Amino acid sequence: MAIKIGDTIPHFTAKDTDGNDFKSIDVIGKMPVVIYFYPKDHTPGCTAQACSFRDQYQDFKDLGVEILGVSSDSIASHQKFAKQYKLPFKLLSDSDKSIRNLFGVKSGLFGLLPGRVTYVADKNGVVVSILDNMIATQHIPKSLEAIKKLV
C-alpha cells in the first residue's frame, strides 16, 4: 500500500553513504524531511536531480530540513556518486528494495526503471507533499515550495 498525503513516514533502517546504519527514527518526527527515491546513481536524470538538491541544499538547511536520497545502488556506488558531485546529504542504499516497498514506490517506464518519487514530511513525520513523476528537476522547487508552506 502506497504512502499518501496525511500518512506518517514509517520507520526504517538502511546503510548510508558512509556505510553507517541510518535509522529513520533519528530524523523522522524531529524535523521536516525530504526523502527522494531515484532510479540509479550516475544516470543523467538522477545526476541532474541530485545536483539540483545539492545546489539548493542550503535553502533546505536554512529551513531546518533534512534531505535523504534513496536508491538500490550499493554503498560504494553512493560514495563515488556523492564524492564526484559533492553531494552534502545522505544517500541510503536500499539494495533489497525494502524501503521502496515500504513506501509503495512503483516502478516507472513500463516497469523497467525504479520509480522516481519525492516525499515531503513535516517535523512530525506527516507527509504533506508527494511528487511522482520522472522529470527529475521538477521535484526540487516543488519540494522547497511545500516546505516553505510549513514554516
Phi and psi, residue 26, nearest 5°:
-75, -15
pTM score over 0.75 = yes
CA 31 – CA 121 distance, rounded (Å): 9
Inter-residue contact 29 to 23 (CB < 8 Å): no
| pLDDT for res 141 | 83
> Is 51 among the catalytic positions?
no
pLDDT bucket at 139, cuts 50 / 70 / 90: confident
The CA-atom distances, in angstroms, between 129 and each of 140, 146, 147 are 12, 7, 9
In a 3-state reduction of DSSP, which class is residue 138?
helix
26-30, 103-107, 144-148: which is most confident: 26-30
Helix locations, the chain, DSSP H: 44-55, 57-62, 75-85, 98-103, 139-150
| Catalytic residue of the set 3, 46, 99, 144 | 46
In a 3-state reduction of DSSP, which class is residue 34?
strand
CA 55 – CA 141 distance, rounded (Å): 11
| pLDDT for res 113 | 63
Length of the chain: 151
The CA-atom distances, in angstroms, between 33 and each of 30, 38, 67 are 9, 16, 6
pLDDT bucket at 56, cuts 50 / 70 / 90: very high
Residue 136 is classified by DSSP as: G
Inter-residue contact 128 to 146 (CB < 8 Å): yes
- In the predicted model, is pLDDT for residue 103 greater than 90? yes
